[in-house]
Structure formats: structure tokens, C-alpha cells
């Protein structure tokens, strides 16, 4: 009887909507009811979105048309996304264990997947971005109209909110799977980011003098 109740309650969870306000419940649902193909699908789509984000204003894509950028994003993005899933999950898992976490790598991987659902939903803004801004998405000196400038600001704000919220969801999901406090989960998520920032700053500091 208890199993039937759990299954019934699980079916009431829609991870695409519950993730926004109930990340702990969502990560439990994903662990209990979603298989590996769901995890890989989210990672693949996230990779496409991240590829497009990185292509924005990138000199490499200055002379590419939109169709070419989208084609490369669809081909390379999923590979980048899946690789990123395992690398990021491995890093967060290692830091979580150092802080006394009790979760498995698979649980950490699914926690990261839950936070990526936010990225996938937020990535839908690329549809109006491509329709409204066109080639301006990938050009640093594009002559935007006032309307396009207005939309680019809206898009920037939406992306900022999505990024922050996905980070908050990741912290809640890590806390859930590793069975420790929110502040430990925050450290497990923030410390790798801070270390990466410090490394980048050091690299920039070491290479900057050679540029002048």
C-alpha cells in the first residue's frame, strides 16, 4: 500500500514546473522515476544552449550565418553537454564528500541534472533572440535598432535570473542528495567556482604583461 502511495505521489510531480519552487522534491522524483536517458537528454539540450551562449559576441562566429551556428551547436552542443555533466558532477561530488556528504556520484549527477532543467527552460528565450536579434546575436558591432536593444536587455535580465536560480536549485538539490545542511551545499557549489575564478585571474595576470 505504501509503495502505491509513493508511486501515486511521484506521478503528481512534474519536474519542469516543480523544479522552480520544490527542487528537493524534484530531485527525489528524478532519482526514483527518471532513467538515464532523461539525464542525458537534459545534458544534451543544456550543451546546445551553452554553446549558443558562448557563441554570442564571439569573434570566431562573426562571419558565420545563423544556420551554420545552429548546425554546429546542434552537432557539438550535445557532446559538450554530456561531457560537462560528468565533469561538473564529479567536481561537485568530490567537494560534497570532503564536506561530509553521503550521496553517491549518481545522485550528484541527478542533482546537477535537476538544476539544468532551469537552463533548458530558460534556453527557450533563444527562440525570440534569433527571431528578433538575428545575426546580431553573434556580432559584436551589429547595428541594433531601438527595439532590438530593448529586447537584448530583457534577454540579458532573463538569462541572469535563470543563471542565479539554477545555482540556487543546484544548492538545494546537492543538500538533498548528500543529506547535509544548505550552507554545506552552498560551499560545495561555490568553492569550485571561486577556485576556477582565482585560477583564471592568475592566468590572466601572468599572460597580461606579454600582451603589452
- Predicted confidence pLDDT, tens digits, the chain (212 residues): 334 444 444 457 899 999 999 999 999 999 999 988 999 999 999 999 999 998 887 777 777 888 888 999 999 999 999 999 999 999 999 999 999 999 999 999 999 999 999 999 999 999 999 999 888 888 777 788 899 999 999 999 999 999 999 999 999 999 999 999 999 999 999 999 999 889 888 888 777 666 55
Q: How many other CB atoms are there within 10 angstroms of residue 154's CB atom?
A: 13
CB-CB contact of 127 with 158 (8 Å): no
Cβ partners under 8 Å of residue 33, min gap 6? 10, 11, 13
Which segments within 1-154 are labelled E, that is strand?
A: none
pTM here?
0.86
Distance of CA 147 to the CA centre of its chain: 28
183: its cell numbers: 550552507
State how far the Cα of 123 lies from the Cα of 28, in Å rounded to an integer: 24
What per-residue string of b and e applies to 54-92 under the rule 16 or more CB within 10 Å gives b? ebbeeeebeebeeeebbeebeeebbebbbebbeebbebb
pLDDT at 6: 46
The pLDDT of residue 111: 95
pLDDT of residue 62: 74
**Tell me, what's the pLDDT at 105?**
96
How many helices (H) and strands (E) would you count in the chain? 9, 0
Nearest Cα to Cα of residue 173 among 13, 1, 27: 27
Q: Is the dihedral of CA 107, 108, 110, 114 positive or negative?
A: positive
User: Of 170, 178, 175, 51, whose CA–CA distance to 118 is shortest?
Assistant: 170
Residue 55 is inside which H or E element, if any? helix 36-55
Question: Which sequence spans correspond to the domains of the chain?
Answer: 10-211
Cell of 144: 541594433
Amino acid at each position: 500500500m505504501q509503495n502505491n502511495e509513493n508511486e501515486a505521489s511521484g506521478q503528481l510531480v512534474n519536474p519542469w514546473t516543480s523544479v522552480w519552487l520544490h527542487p528537493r522534491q524534484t530531485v527525489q522524483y528524478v532519482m526514483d522515476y527518471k532513467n538515464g536517458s532523461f539525464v542525458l537528454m537534459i545534458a544534451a539540450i543544456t550543451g546546445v544552449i551553452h554553446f549558443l551562449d558562448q557563441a554570442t559576441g564571439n569573434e570566431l562566429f562573426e562571419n558565420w550565418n545563423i544556420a551554420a551556428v545552429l548546425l554546429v551547436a546542434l552537432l557539438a552542443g550535445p557532446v559538450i553537454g554530456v561531457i560537462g555533466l560528468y565533469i561538473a558532477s564529479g567536481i561537485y561530488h568530490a567537494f560534497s564528500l570532503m564536506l561530509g556528504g553521503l550521496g553517491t556520484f549518481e545522485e550528484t549527477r541527478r542533482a546537477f541534472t535537476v538544476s539544468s532543467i532551469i537552463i533548458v527552460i530558460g534556453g527557450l528565450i533563444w527562440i525570440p533572440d534569433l527571431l528578433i536579434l538575428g545575426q546580431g546575436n553573434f556580432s559584436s558591432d551589429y547595428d541594433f535598432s531601438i527595439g532590438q536593444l530593448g529586447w537584448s536587455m530583457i534577454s540579458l535580465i532573463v538569462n541572469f535570473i535563470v543563471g542565479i536560480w539554477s545555482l540556487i536549485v543546484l544548492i538545494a538539490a546537492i543538500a538533498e542528495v548528500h543529506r547535509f545542511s544548505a550552507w554545506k551545499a552552498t560551499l560545495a557549489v561555490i568553492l569550485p567556482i571561486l577556485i576556477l575564478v582565482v585560477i583564471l585571474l592568475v592566468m590572466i595576470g601572468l599572460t597580461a604583461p606579454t600582451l603589452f
